[in-house]
Amino acid sequence: MSNSKYFKLDEFINSDTARKNNINNTPNENVKENIKNIMFVMDEIRKYVNKPIRITSGFRCDSLNKKVGGVANSIHKTGLACDFTFINITESQMKKIAIYVKDNIKEFDQLIIYTDRNFIHFNLRNNPRNMLLESIGKGKYKKLEV
């Protein structure tokens, strides 16, 4: 696995919430490998977007996941997920990214656009499902038609 061109591991680990709450969000080696895998795929998305992407949430240890109100089995705990955004992101840009991912990323699990909160959740998984979804309220999703 080559290194990410655009991202640093820390961007997927550092968390203001963890820092403020003295939570040690250090990943183990397996999780680090998972993070590297998603960084590699995020490079493709970054190239397509062609502007700086901010990772708003990457790996979450169990305590951090609880603190941010993540579901108990959140894929973020494996390191295979990230939430991201960029400055002035729009709903139509989020949909374009979804189309790009559908057409160009061979194996991904879920891409979820949160139009109300201006970010995208993206994750890999063993047995990936290649699903595009749209958040329609807490814990509710519908298939994204693009």
Which residues in this chain contact Zn ion in the complex, by CB under 5 A? Answer: 83, 121
The least CB distance from residue 121 to Zn ion, in Å, is 3
Q: Please identify the residue of the shown chain whose CB is closest to the bound Zn ion.
A: 121
Residue 46 or 121 with smaller CB distance to Zn ion: 121
Residue 6 or 141 with smaller CB distance to Zn ion: 141
Is residue 94 within 8 Å of residue 115, measured between CB atoms?
A: yes
The residue written with tokens 């329609």 in the block is 136
Question: Which residues pair with residue 85 across a beta bridge?
Answer: 54
Please choose, from the candidates 143, 142, 91, the residue with its C-alpha nearest in 3D space to the C-alpha of residue 115. 91
Is residue 55 within 8 Å of residue 7, measured between CB atoms?
A: yes
The least CB distance from residue 122 to Zn ion, in Å, is 8
Residue 3 or 91 with smaller CB distance to Zn ion: 91
Residue 2 or 16 with smaller CB distance to Zn ion: 16
The least CB distance from residue 67 to Zn ion, in Å, is 14
> 73-103: buried (b, 16+ CB within 10 Å) or exposed (e) per residue?
ebbbbbbbbbbbbbeebeeebbbebbebbee
The least CB distance from residue 25 to Zn ion, in Å, is 15
